[in-house]
Chains A and B, each alone.
Chain A
Amino acid sequence: MKPYPTPLNLLLRTAIAGVLLFAPWLVGTDYYLHIAIMSLVFVILATSLDILVGYSGLLSLGHTAFFAFGAYAAALLYLHFGIPLWGTLFAGGAVAALIAWVLGLLILNVRGHRFVITTVVFAECGRLVAYNWTSLTNGQIGLSGIRPPVLDIPGLPRIDFNSRAAYYYLALAVATICVTIILRIVQSPIGWRMLALRENERLAEANGVNTRQISTIAFVSSAFFAGVAGALYAHYTGFISPDLFYFSYTTTMLIMVFLGGKGTIIGPVIGAVAFTILPEALRVTADFRLMTFSLILLLLVVFAPDGLVGLFDRLRSRHASARKVADA
């Protein structure tokens, strides 16, 4: 079943692993490391959204709310109880998952545009709560002073995650673990049931898929990882505000999922990296930055409807068939 990797393939994988592992030496400046860390945060967000949008066929426009709830949970736990990142990563995910579960009880029996609208409204409600519950959230001013941890294991050199390079490795580790777990979920029979739900809900139910249960699993697990990403983000920037609930964050995540290639996991990973780097790279175009970015998005939508992954696949199969012709 698993294709044996070709030498080229193996070389490519080694190269990617090498770049990821030695990035702090390769890119040097803090600015580039900042982009790398944000890419990794978005990798978790985009892949977690892919569980819902790509695999289960449930279009959520409120995914950023779970990111924000995770961030707020981490911030509050750190600021009030001094719980370090190691605890808040999990707690951020757990709080987001719990909120998703409760919300799911209310909205997972509706589908189509009604589901989409409820998710938008939910994110907006979250923003209003964060904005107005000033005694807890500090309102518009936001919460600041959320520090990264310092790892002090006796016998080992002290690691201070206040340094960009150290935080990069931390983010890389968290993102790798999250993507691995997400990948395992969607490749397991649970992921197959999500596909059944996406392809034909009535048939899935008739064939033994408890569609209520599987949509809840999809909704809650995707929220969990978004919450983890929120905690990772909060401890990185050290400051969060109700702006995290903004619709533009959700849009960014959806662009990553759709233009990366939904329902593939690797697509959203590529999408997250590409669409975090691209707006930054386009700074060379100065005033034309947003225009150029939009134009690129538009071209991709038109010429790569299945996302970057779909585009690669098409090019590869064309290449393969060309080679077959040459062989014959």
Chain B
Amino acid sequence: MLDVRNLGVSFGGVVALRAVTFATQANQITSVVGPNGAGKTTLFNIISGFQRPGSGSVSFNDQPLIGLRPSRIAEVGLVRTFQKTEVFKGLSVERAVKIGTACGRDFPLWRALWPRAIGKAQDIARRETELILDTCGLTSVARKTCAALSYGEQRILEIALALAARPRLLMLDEPASGLNPTEARLLGDMIIKIRAQGIGVVLIEHNMQLVMRVSDHIIVLHHGEKIAEGEPSEVARDQRVIDAYLGGGDIAAT
């Protein structure tokens, strides 16, 4: 599905990523973990088109992505969320998701003049919105303003907005940061539910309990290099991973 090869980038002499190579499978949850500053978000920024790499290639179902603008990459089916919560603050939840469903769908200007086109688009958007709000458990707050939601709800809303763009691969950047254990568990359920819908997930996350629970495959970055990858149990036993994280100690326990 997603194929990252030899990705490298540096900022003024500081190497952020060095020859990172990995691939994800459809219908799998792939987690990218590593200490702060390991290059995880930079990796996301490059894959989603917000940053250019120094070297290497990224392709999605054999389509090269480097050089495409983020909106085009989203259209191809790769949608990301951000580490710092980003929602359509001034709109109601329902309206925000409804707008989200229209974001990636082509609608040329002349069609706005076509009598029935708007009604049809409205109907489709309304149906999709209901479904997404239901999947994410946001139906009860649908009429609230996005900014009025609790922090945890806003993080869920972000994922709802990403789902509205109809991704084939969803990339979540630290979705559990700032969530309490209960919320984090619900988030885990939701991520598994998303996979069950046939959407692949790439997850950047520090909450190891969550990562160990949901991941099919884990990639460990340290100082911009991939130091390990494999199934959760394998990675947890890897000596280099343990060293990178705590200089000792059990990764599964953190």
* Contact status A188-B88, CB under 8 Å: no
A187-B80 CB under 8 A given contacts A203-B161, A205-B69, A207-B103: no
B-binding segment of A209-217, A250-258, A281-289: A209-217
B113 on interface, CB distance cutoff 8 Å: yes
Count residues of A near B (Cβ-Cβ below 8 Å).
Answer: 28
Task: Enumerate chain B residues within 8 angstroms of A185, measured Cβ to Cβ.
Answer: 109, 112
A204 contacts B90, C-beta separation under 8 Å: no
The interface residues of chain A, by DSSP majority, are classed as: helix
Q: Does A206 contact B (CB under 8 A)?
A: yes
CA gap between A318 and B117 in the complex, in Å:
36
Cβ contact within 8 Å between A192 and B98: yes
Q: Does B91 contact A (CB under 8 A)?
A: yes
A184, A187, A190, A199: which contacts B91 (Cβ < 8 A)?
Answer: A199
A210 and B87 form a contact (CB under 8 A): no
Contact assessment for B71 and A211 in the assembled complex, using a CB-CB cutoff below 8 Å: yes
Q: Does B164 contact A (CB under 8 A)?
A: yes
CB pair A196–B88 under 8 Å, yes or no, is: yes
Within 8 Å CB of A208, what residues of B?
Answer: 71, 74-75, 79, 103-105, 165
Q: Is the CB of A205 within 8 A of B99?
A: no
Within 170-207 of A, Cβ neighbours of B (below 8 Å) are at 181, 184-185, 187-193, 195-196, 199-200, 202-207
Q: Does B246 contact A (CB under 8 A)?
A: no
Contact B88 A195 (CB under 8 A): yes
B143 at the interface (CB under 8 A from A): no
In the complex, which of the residues B80, B91, B107, B165 contacts A189, with contact meaning CB atoms closer than 8 Å?
B107
B104 (CB) vs chain A CBs: closest residue:
A208
List residues of chain B with CB within 8 A of the CB of A184: 112-113, 118
Tell me, yes or no, whether A241 is within 8 Å of chain B by CB: no
Docked-complex contact A207 and B161, CB < 8 angstroms: yes
Question: Is A200 touching B86 in the complex (CB atoms < 8 A)?
Answer: yes
- With a cutoff of 8 Å between Cβ atoms, the chain B residues found around residue A119 in the complex are none
Judge whether B112 and A192 touch: CB under 8 Å: no
Contact B70 A206 (CB under 8 A): yes
Chain B nearest CB from A317 CB (Å) reads 14
Q: Which residues of B contact A221 (CB under 8 A)?
A: 109
Instruction: Name the residue among B71, B86, B87 with the largest chain A CB count within 10 angstroms.
Output: B71
Query: Which residues of the other chain, B, contact A181 by a CB distance below 8 angstroms?
Result: 112-113
Q: Which listed residue (B109, B113, B117, B165) contacts A207, Cβ 8 A? A: B165
- Contact between chains at A195 and B109 (CB < 8 Å): no
B54-85 with Cβ < 8 A to chain A: 69-72, 74-75, 79-82
* Among B75, B88, B102, contact of A200 (Cβ-Cβ < 8 Å): B88
> In the complex, are the beta carbons of A189 and B105 less than 8 A apart?
yes
Decide: A195 and B99 in contact? CB cutoff 8 A: yes
| Contact, CB under 8 Å: B165 / A200 | no
> Which chain A residues numbered 284 to 307 have a C-beta less than 8 Å away from chain B?
none
Q: Which residues of A contact B164 (CB under 8 A)?
A: 207
B99 contact from A1, A192, A210, A217, Cβ within 8 A: A192
Q: Using an 8 Å CB-CB cutoff, how does the interface string of A245-266 with B read, 1 for contact, 0 for none?
A: 0000000000000000000000
- Which residue of chain A lies nearest to B123 when distances are taken between CB atoms in the complex? A1
What residue of chain B has the Cβ atom nearest to residue A204's Cβ? B103
Chain A residues lying within 8 Å of B48, measured Cβ to Cβ, are 206
Beyond known contacts A188-B111, A188-B121: 9 more, CB 8 A cutoff: A181-B113, A188-B112, A189-B121, A203-B87, A206-B74, A207-B79, A208-B104, A208-B105, A210-B71
User: Which residues of B does A touch, CB under 8 Å?
Assistant: 48, 50, 69-72, 74-75, 79-82, 86-91, 96, 98-100, 102-105, 107, 109, 111-113, 117-118, 121-122, 125, 161-162, 164-165
Interface CB pairs A-B, < 8 A, 15: A1-B122, A184-B112, A188-B111, A189-B107, A192-B99, A192-B102, A192-B103, A195-B91, A200-B88, A205-B70, A205-B74, A208-B104, A208-B165, A209-B104, A210-B72
A residues with a Cβ closer than 8 A to B are: 1, 181, 184-185, 187-193, 195-196, 199-200, 202-212, 217, 221
